[in-house]
Structure 1
Amino acid sequence: MRINKYIASCGVASRRKAEEIILERRVKVNGKIVEELSFNVDEKNDLVEIDEKKIGLNKNYIYIVLNKPEGYITTVKDQFDRPSVLDLVTDISERIYPIGRLDYETSGLLILTNDGDLTYKLTHPKHEVAKTYVARVKGIPSAEKMKQFEDGLYIEDYKTAPAKIRIIDKNEEKNYSICEIKIHEGRNRQVRKMCKAIDHPVQRLKRAAMGKITLKGTEIGKYRHLTTEEIEYLKAIK
């Protein structure tokens, strides 16, 4: 098994993060530092360590969906010592991490797991898993602006993939509207950048669904375990 896949399967980190850990020379196999991403591990016989701590294949997979509040980061820690979403799931002993990210100001659905293979699959660009957001934006987008949004917008050095947007509520007096937005990509702050590009900046943003997975009434700051059917659905995504 490739070393990055092995690390992910052990529930330590996603495959991408595992590659960073390897290149940082933090991984040892049978006492020797490994820094080749193509290195293969014998999962039955090799001793694998990260930061001098032994790791092994995880048999107890955890899958939860968290209703993330605003004001939490989705990384373990950052330079500003802001609270992390992991602070909200301290009663789970297994080491879990988010599938994808939500920015500090954004609330809503976040899936966390220790299943590295599933994380890799759902964050890989070739798997077009729709993400549904509810955004309060300044002003009321015109049909022309929404058509531009749906056709793709040039942001920084790339053009966004086709997306969907519809107005589900509006307040002309206070000059804002509530929009449902669906995208397949997961670039950094993409929804915010797309809304700004059509001159309707985001005021509040919440992710409501990832594919068919929803919050199902989960309160802000709380989480629930995915059902067997939901897990099977995610694993079946091609």
Structure 2
Amino acid sequence: MKGIEKDSMNTDTKGERLQKLLAHAGVASRRQAEQMILEGQVTVNGEIVTILGTRVQPQDKVAVQGKLITVPAESLVYYVLHKPTGVITSAMDPQGRKTVVDLLREVPQRVYPIGRLDYDTSGLLLLTNDGELAYRLMHPRYGVEKTYRVGIKEKPTDEALNQLRAGVVLEDGKTAPAKVREVSRIGEGLFRFLDITIHEGRNRQVRRMFAKVGYPVASLQRIRFGPLELEPSLSIGKYRALSATEVYKLQRAVQLI
């Protein structure tokens, strides 16, 4: 049976990625499911699919080695975590380090982080099993802003601040203009704090931006993601479910409603 060609497969933003669906159904881990797809063991509506990233709809019939699979119904859940430093933003880590999912072990559903916070970065992290919302919140098309509180060891010059606001040329291109404001000295230590707001999601972007203008980051915390702010009452390492109003605000921010 011929595999589905790239131009005929469903790779739009609707539905669920095939490898994720297989993992959710308990067929295999995500990585193992990807290998099964590449080896031609998976069919969708009777046709072999060998392209990773293919999306399937609830009405599609998915089979592995000829056996139809069923995915257990699962309600959509949404959580906010105050991520500590020293924790990996991932569902699992081959090196055995603690992950953010380890901190939500009491959550019965399988949830995934929306975007990433570096190992040495703390702050607001959203986790959900709502793939469509997660996709849109991470996609630059929707321009969802994230604000970070940055600690540096000396007062920045006006020139450095203006560079950050205008966009900084990094090895992977110039960043979009950022909003930057100085914050009065807070907490312990001799750091000066600034808040920077960006809508891109490049790897270690804030750290690289500050290093580029000559002020290496000493501490970094995300304090806002879209319409949601990190609450002082949410202790480091703790999490809570989002309210219906908070979910509504996130959905509205990415034009889902």
Matches within 5 A, 1:68-87: 68-87=83-102
What is the SS of the residue equivalent to 2:141?
coil
Please name the residue that 1:188 is paired with.
203
The partner residue of 1:228 within 235, 244, 248 is 244
User: How many matched pairs?
Assistant: 230
Alpha-carbon distance in structure 2 between the residues aligned to 1:100 and 1:25: 26
Residues 1:165 and 2:180 are matched in the alignment: yes
Deviations 1:43-80 (A, max 9, x none): 33513559x99452744001000000000001122343
Q: Relative to 1, partners in 2 of residues 1:45 and 1:165: Cα closer, same or farther, differing over 3 Å? A: closer
Counterpart amino acid of 1:89?
A: L
Give 3-state SS (helix, strand or coil) of 1:61's partner: coil
1:62 alignment counterpart: 77
What's the offset of the Cα at 1:41? 4.1
* 1:197 partner amino acid: K
Over aligned residues, Cα RMSD in angstroms?
3.1
Amino acid at match of 1:85: V
Q: Given that residues 179 and 198 in structure 2 are in contact (C-alpha distance below 8 angstroms), is that contact kept between their aligned partners in structure 1?
A: yes
Identify the range of structure 1 (207-216 vs 194-203) with the bigger mean alpha-carbon deviation.
207-216
Q: In the superposition, relative to structure 1, how do residues 48 and 185 fare at CA in structure 2: closer, same or farther (>3 Å)?
A: farther
The answer as to whether partners of 2:150 and 2:217 remain within 8 angstroms in 1 is yes
Question: Could you tell me the TM-score, scaled by structure 2's length?
Answer: 0.78
Cα displacement string for residues 208-238 of structure 1 (whole angstroms, at most 9, x for unaligned residues): 0101112222111011111111111111123
Give the aligned partner of residue 6 of structure 1: 15
Show the 5 A alignment for 1:1-238: 2=10, 5-8=14-17, 24-26=35-37, 28-29=42-43, 34-36=49-51, 41=56, 43-44=58-59, 46-48=61-63, 54=69, 56=71, 58-170=73-185, 176-216=191-231, 217-237=233-253, 238=255
Between 1 and 2, higher relative CO (CA 8 Å, sep ≥ 6) is seen in: 1
- Using structure 1 for the length normalisation, give the TM-score: 0.84
Q: In the aligned structure 2, how far is the partner of 1:39 from the partner of 1:170?
A: 49
CA distance 1:41–1:76, change in 2 (3 Å) = closer
Q: Which of these two proteins has the greater Rg computed from alpha carbons?
A: 2
What's the % identity of the aligned pairs?
A: 38
Decide whether aligned partners of structure 1 residues 203 and 40 sit closer, same or farther in structure 2, where only a CA change above 3 A counts.
Answer: closer
* Counterpart amino acid of residue 6 in structure 1: G
Q: CA deviation at 1:33?
A: 5.0
